[in-house]
Amino acid sequence: MKTNFLGAEALRFKGSKVENLNRTKSIFFTLLSIFFTFCSFAQQQDSTKVNQLDDVLVSAVRVTSKTPVSFSNMDKKEIKYRNLGQDIPVLMNYLPSVVTTSDAGNGVGYTGIRVRGSDATRVNVTINGIPYNDAESQGTFWVNMPDFASSVESLQLQRGVGTSTNGAGAFGASLNMLTDSYANKATGEISSSAGSFNTFKNTVKFSTGLLNDHFEIAGRLSTIKTHGYIDRGSADLKSYFLQGTYVGKTTLIKALVFGGTQKTYQSWNGIDGETLNENRTFNSAGMYTDEAGNVRFYDNETDNYNQDHYQLHWSESISDKWSTNLAFHYTKGKGYYENYKEDSDMADYGLNPVGTVTETDLIRQKWLDNDFYGTTFSAKYVTEKLNVILGGGWNKYEGDHFGKVIWARYASQSELGDHYYDDYSSKTDGNIFAKANYQFTEKLSFYGDLQYRRVHYKANSAETGLVDDTFNFFNPKAGLNYAFNEKNTLYFSYARANREPNRTDYEGGNVKPEKLNDFELGWRFNSEKFQLNSNVYYMGYKDQLILTGRLDDVGNPIRANTEKSYRLGFEFDATIALSDKFTLRPNFTLSSNKNVDLAVDGEFYGTTKIAYSPEVIAGNVIVYKPIERLYLSLLQKYVGEQYMNNIELPAAKLADYFVNDFNASYEIKPKTIFQSITITALVNNIFDKKYVSNGAMWDVYPYYYPQAGTNFLIGLNLKF
């Protein structure tokens, strides 16, 4: 039997992959053994209560008000008021320059985020400093970590290039999440919520508190189910989180295991304009015509995926000046999506027909089996005037892509378990960085940041062809921070970023890496009742990979290089305490996002607007606290019109929209049994606005993703 070149390469890769994976697992679990041995030894050495060291975990990737970078923070308290089952991007919807969307229309399942018009593949996401973005697609799939918000202590969104961090380079923003801190005392928590579209969420959390003042074990189990706003846009999601913590006088060690499994009915096709007007919840996924001519829908047109994460962190405060962090991580992902395909050519699926029939209806599964592992590290040095962080990381991704036919209407000479394609890919990503804040005078400080990043990507598939690329990137950053007085601060920064193409980009043909120069000029004002952040940014791109608005056959956005483009904008956000009972948190972004001298397929279009980049984004949160522990909030979001492609085709324009949500939370402090009982209600889109937050172009035909009208969620949290 002949073996083609692609198949032979795949077999060789799989052999080395298994060997590397077994070695990696052995190393990881050896480290866990060392962790517990060290904890036992350290307990004997010291029993003194210590300061909290959680911040050391993310100090290498987070910024403060003294850093010349635009950012927003969300803490656990702010998250919990709306944490009723919707994904993290939806909870972040009211931050400056943020636009979110949901395939199923109700914020559960597949959700997306854009920052300053940059899509999720440009938003670098880390969990405790560990990269989370998918190494190949560079995207972030929150559906694989359902209810992760229940285990988040705090998060920080840096807009623009931000500071050097692990993982893929940030081209629009960086999102850094810190998971739950340890608890000093034992606690338990039960949360349940229910709402529109048969949405249910149940969460159980616990913590042992610090045992012998040193050890804590904490965990969470969650389930989320919904039918979705879109027809059959259902999701069945389960997740877990387990954390072991050792706290010593100068030591914090955390071992974490968390993950989730999801089964989501596909709702990524969108609908055309006529259907949007007549039947906005219609979903074409799974639709087929049976042998009797009846239109039917396949009941298992689903996406199925399981993802497990392992992290080991060791933070050490060596002295008043030095602290270090060392982390190891491993992520295992495996799953598939399933399709019913009509009148398919047997040859396309490696099926040898029996007889003269060469086409058949069939059910296929497209599988992804991947492993991601590596290490991150940093050392921090602090004096009165100088703050230095040295760090880096090394990560490797190994992924198998393969397809199976699990049923066919007509017989063929095939065997159960045969693959009709076998692709592989691997990606190695290493970086080192040094960044420093130096206080020149009482008012003036300097920020410097140098990063070297090396990426090697290898792929072998019919779509990408044979890829074997290495990229070497140097990313310098610098800025000044000037405090006029205790209330007013002015900052200026420059950042350089380089970024490699993703897997889908290679499918589109010859692609180049992208380059970005980001300039930020900002002013911060801080007083007791009024805080203001404003900044002007200019992001100039060379060979930016812009969204064309088109999708490939599995729903991935197709991008193409444009030689020159830019984003110029003004951001503003504030917190205004009108009284002890009223608080306002407005924000808005005004921007101009342009391709310069755009050329597509040999046609020149001049200067055009970048797709999915509205010129106006605004938000506002009005909080009213009539009595102690009762919070009433009106949340408002406006997104201006935007194009779904880059040639400003009239049919590709998405209309603007203005949506209002209402959130209420009341906490009861009983004297026995429970520490607190919290009742929460969230009414989304209270004025029943019929709006579309996302879309795509199939050639010149627009397809839309409508969002739900008025819908609600009600929750009960019992803490003891």
Q: What is the mean pLDDT of the chain?
A: 89
Q: Could you report the per-residue pLDDT of 96-124, keeping only the tens digit for each?
A: 999 999 999 999 999 999 999 998 888 99
Total number of residues shown for the chain: 720
* pLDDT the model gives residue 1: 34
* Closest of 282, 107, 66 to residue 713, by C-alpha: 107
* pLDDT the model gives residue 42: 43
Distance CA 588, CA 611 (A): 20
Q: Could you report the per-residue pLDDT of 539-588, keeping only the tens digit for each?
A: 999 998 887 666 666 666 777 888 899 999 999 999 999 999 999 999 99
Distance CA 352, CA 410 (A): 11
Q: Could you report the per-residue pLDDT of 365-397, keeping only the tens digit for each?
A: 999 999 999 999 999 999 999 999 999 999 999
Dump the DSSP string for 561-622: EEEEEEEEEEEEEEEEE-SSSEEEEEEEEEEEEEEEEEEETTEEEEEEEPTT--SEEEEEEE
Cβ–Cβ < 8 Å for 442, 466: no
Domain extents for the chain?
Answer: 5-719
CATH tag for 5-719 (out of 2.60.120.920, 3.30.70.920, 2.60.40.10, 2.40.170.20): 2.40.170.20
Average confidence (pLDDT) over 150-162: 94
Average confidence (pLDDT) over 273-286: 96
Band of residue 10 on the pLDDT scale cut at 50, 70, 90? very low
Q: Could you report the per-residue pLDDT of 164-173, keeping only the tens digit for each?
A: 877 777 888 9
Calculate ∠ Cα 49-55-56, nearest 5°. Answer: 90
* Closest of 719, 713, 718 to residue 82, by C-alpha: 713
Long-range (24+ apart) CB contacts under 8 A made by 490-494 are: 490/522, 490/523, 490/524, 491/68, 491/520, 491/521, 491/522, 491/523, 491/524, 492/68, 492/519, 492/520, 492/521, 492/522, 493/68, 493/69, 493/447, 493/518, 493/519, 493/520, 494/518, 494/519, 494/520
Distance CA 571, CA 622 (A): 19
SS3 of 7, please?
helix
* pLDDT the model gives residue 584: 97
Band of residue 3 on the pLDDT scale cut at 50, 70, 90? very low
Span of 284-298, 573-587, 591-605, 619-633 with lowest mean pLDDT: 591-605
Distance CA 399, CA 333 (A): 9
* Burial status of residue 333 (CB atoms within 10 A of its CB: 0-12, 13-18, 19 or more): buried
Cβ–Cβ < 8 Å for 266, 337: yes
How much helix, strand and coil, in percent to the nearest 5, is found in the chain? 10, 55, 30
Average confidence (pLDDT) over 168-196: 91
Q: Could you report the per-residue pLDDT of 224-261, keeping only the tens digit for each?
A: 999 999 999 999 999 999 999 999 989 999 999 999 99
Query: Distances in Å between the alpha carbon of 282 and those of 70, 107, 275?
Result: 40, 17, 7
Query: Distances in Å between the alpha carbon of 280 and those of 243, 284, 690, 698, 704?
Result: 43, 11, 9, 18, 9
- Inform me whether the pLDDT recorded for 186 exceeds 70: yes
Q: Could you report the per-residue pLDDT of 664-678, keeping only the tens digit for each?
A: 999 999 988 899 999
* Cβ neighbour number for residue 399 with a 10 Å cutoff: 22
Average confidence (pLDDT) over 491-516: 89
Could you tell me what percent of the chain has a pLDDT over 90? 75
Please report where in the chains the tokens 């997104």 appear, as a residue: 639
Q: Which two tokens stand for residue 235?
A: 């999701």
Q: Could you report the per-residue pLDDT of 696-714, keeping only the tens digit for each?
A: 988 789 999 999 999 999 9
Q: Containing H/E element for 25?
A: helix 5-45
